[in-house]
Amino acid sequence: MARCPRVALCLGAAGQPHAGPRPPPLSPRGRPFLRDAAGPFAGAEVYSSPMLPSSSSGSGSGPGPAPLLGASFVRELEVLQRRLEIRARSGGAGEHLARRRGGSAEFKEHRAYAPGDDLRRIDWAAYARTGEPVLKLFRAEEDVIARLVCDASASLDFGEPTKLDAARRLAAAVGYMSLARSERAQLFVAGDGIAREHAPVRGRAGLAALLRALDGVKAAGGTHLARAIDAVVRRSARPGLLCVVSDFFDPGPVTAALGRAAQAGHDVALLQVVAAEELAPSFEGDLTLEDAETGTLVDVTMDAAALAAYAARFAGLCEALRGWARRHGATYVRARSDEPLEGAVRRFVARSVD
């Protein structure tokens, strides 16, 4: 029998997954965001990072791996970040909450005005001095944090591009938007029931640190995503955005852990990454499938009945996540690794349930 490694064995009982393989924005004087000063990260060291392109590198096409945030992706994020809101039940306040009446806030920094910004937030004194409109950003005494849980189990090393590539780019996008709004972001890398914690970051240097951390994430080992989520919630001093990026191929009680996070006040968002081969497998005949995380081998005959059973169980997994999100007021977005991710990010900002 032919051996076909890293193919999803699909789902276990009760709808739980069995382990499986799891023009640029301009400043008032017309300068591009990615070069010179024109955005919330103007002059940041991140622009010398290989993970973001220079203004001449286009959208990351050409030899070598694509950057986590290509130029066209960044242009989209600059528009979307102004619409992002975090709905955690806390007294936290980032840029979008610092405007509340009675809020205690201190001045954080200026950001260049962009079309769509609230004109009432322009610093007119600075405009009189420089001739360039800028916004005043504030940091409240308790600010909002976006916690990014990125699944790094072996099942993510599947697809073309891989699900891990898509997961890292989605986490980078959410982190970028949070940092652009003067909030903090913190990365947790989930694998084998452990949530490897990176220090929270903020602002210009913080974006570079976040992208470096994501660039180093490799897919290996098992998942136990539920235990990792519980660990993140236990370490959280106060609630914020909890964005879980995963294929959710996990034998554990993931939705129960997500429920505990929601009960603790977190604004939960589920970004499920899937590969085209998982949506429509092209395998046929007698095969031996290998579990990418455990090495377990299963002999199957891939006929019409087997493919139909697989499709039903895969749909059951997605529907279980979708239903949980609807019941708990959470966000659920499914993103294909082989399609542009801008659409998935738009749906995340709109707080969709796909």
Name, of 16-20, 110-114, 138-142, 327-331, the range with top average pLDDT. Answer: 327-331
Mean pLDDT of the 3-29 span: 38
Q: Place 246 in a pLDDT band, splitting at 50, 70 and 90.
A: very high
Mean pLDDT of the 176-198 span: 88
123-178 per-position pLDDT tens digit: 998 889 898 898 887 655 456 899 999 999 999 999 999 999 999 999 999 999 99
Percent of the chain's residues with pLDDT above 70: 72
Mean pLDDT of the 310-322 span: 94
104-115 per-position pLDDT tens digit: 456 777 888 876
Compare 142 and 186 and report the one with higher pLDDT: 186
Q: Which three-class secondary structure state does DSSP give residue 342?
A: helix
pLDDT at 66: 54
Name, of 39-53, 104-118, 188-202, 227-241, the range with top average pLDDT. Answer: 227-241
- Specify whether the CB–CB gap between 19 and 294 falls below 8 A: yes
pLDDT at 117: 67
d(C-alpha 250, C-alpha 293), whole Å: 10
Cα 132 → chain centroid: 33
Q: Tell me yes or no: is domain 2-22+144-349 CATH 3.60.21.10.
A: no
Cβ neighbours around 175 below 10 Å, total: 29
pLDDT at 188: 96
- Specify whether the CB–CB gap between 244 and 90 falls below 8 A: no
Q: Place 88 in a pLDDT band, splitting at 50, 70 and 90.
A: low
Supply the DSSP symbol for 16: P
For the four alpha carbons of 270, 276, 279 and 285, in that order, the dihedral sign comes to negative
d(C-alpha 40, C-alpha 324), whole Å: 35
Q: Which residue has the tokens 């009760």?
A: 14
Domain chopping of the chain, boundaries: 2-22+144-349, 98-140
Lowest-pLDDT choice from 115-124, 237-246, 320-329:
115-124
d(C-alpha 10, C-alpha 1), whole Å: 20
Residue 189, sorted as left (phi over 0), alpha (psi -120 to 50) or beta, turns out to be beta
d(C-alpha 22, C-alpha 17), whole Å: 10
Q: If you average pLDDT over every residue of the chain, what do you get?
A: 77
pLDDT at 322: 96
pLDDT at 10: 42
d(C-alpha 222, C-alpha 152), whole Å: 8
